[in-house]
Amino acid sequence: MDISIERLCIENGLKMTGPRRIIARVLSEATDHPDVDELHRRANRVDSRISLATVYRTVRLLESKGILSRRDLGSRRARYEPSGDKHHFHLVDKDSGAVVEFAAPQAEAMLREIAAGQGFEVDVIKIELFGRRTAR
């Protein structure tokens, strides 16, 4: 991922404690959309003193500052990714919970056209598609 969560924290005036730096690095390096328990497991591999409560507090703080976005991707647990104003599409496998990000320029063009027909100018498109992976 090309977004430095730590840099965004500093730009937003947040004090960067050791645990926050580790959590920010784990989030920046994530190629998936981890929930808090998974973030805790990953941060704990770096520093076993980081508590689950610290991860929860940090995630809530980053979310309140607009650095992280909470995503409901069909599981009972909220999952997180860096906030942003780029167009964003997800395929979510309802059986495994796997999330695949993809680009869809044709869909973006079609959705902008539909919005324009309704008198809207689109700033950001975010879509989740839920289904099951089929055999290939």
Instruction: Write the pLDDT tens digit of every residue in 77-126.
Output: 777 777 765 677 888 888 877 778 888 889 889 999 999 999 999 887 88
DSSP string, 7-52: HHHHHTT----HHHHHHHHHHHH-SS---HHHHHHHHHHH-TT--H
User: Going along 17-113, which residue ranges are E strands?
Assistant: 68-71, 79-82, 88-93, 99-102
Domains and CATH numbers, the chain: 5-82 (1.10.10.10), 88-131 (3.30.1490.190)
How wide is the angle at C-alpha 90 spanned by C-alphas 89 and 94, nearest 5°?
A: 155
| Cβ-contact 24, 9 below 8 angstroms | yes
Instruction: Write the pLDDT tens digit of every residue in 4-51.
Output: 888 888 888 888 899 999 999 998 888 778 888 989 999 999 999 999
This prediction's pTM: 0.66
